[in-house]
Structure 1
Amino acid sequence: MHFLCVVQSGCCKPPTACGYNFVNPTLWLNPTNMAADADCYLWSNDQSQLCYSCNSCKAGLLGNLRQDWRKANLILIITVVVLIWVYVIACSAFRNAQTEDLSRK
């Protein structure tokens, strides 16, 4: 849920390059010249839309996903290393136990 709030708060604000005039957090006035960026025409004050069709919002979403996946990959790599280490120790202990059984017989 936290991830969606971050994306929505970024997409509720129009791109800075467009020059929209702030009235309140949910209302921005259209500028007279919107030629600065293609996202200027895509952004909307409509609360149900939240500007998800804007390229800048899509880029922000991809940036957040990339960051989250890097963290997840790091955790997965550490987990695999720990599991391999536990497996090697278990195999060594098993071999030692078998060697002791053979020497007793």
Structure 2
Amino acid sequence: MTNPADELRQAAQTLMDLADAAQTDLDTGDYWKPYAPATAWRDGLTNGMGGTSGDLAAVFSPATAHALALLLRGVLSQAHESGHEECSSWCSPETCDLSAALAVARQINAASA
């Protein structure tokens, strides 16, 4: 079984790798050429998917994925510095940053498996 630190590291790296690949596609792929560079991600996904699913995907750009990966790494670093590297029974995503980050990491890791 992996530990919380490994789960956070894995999710952060997955996000970084996917964001880098998506950004390369955005920069070079023919699909994105009709759109203005500043809004290509948003406009392309909204146009391609439509509806609220497209709206949600549109806000989760490669830059957003990078920022979330950095946030996961930051929570891991803060948890390590504070000595709070494992969540107790009283921790929940609503009351504990580590628990919330782990909930996100576990969703990312499950989706990428």
Shorter-chain TM-score above 0.5: no
**Greater RCO structure (CA 8 Å; 6+ sep):** 2
The structure whose residues are more often helix, as a share, is: 2
Q: TM-score, structure 1 length as denominator?
A: 0.29
The structure whose residues are more often strand, as a share, is: 1
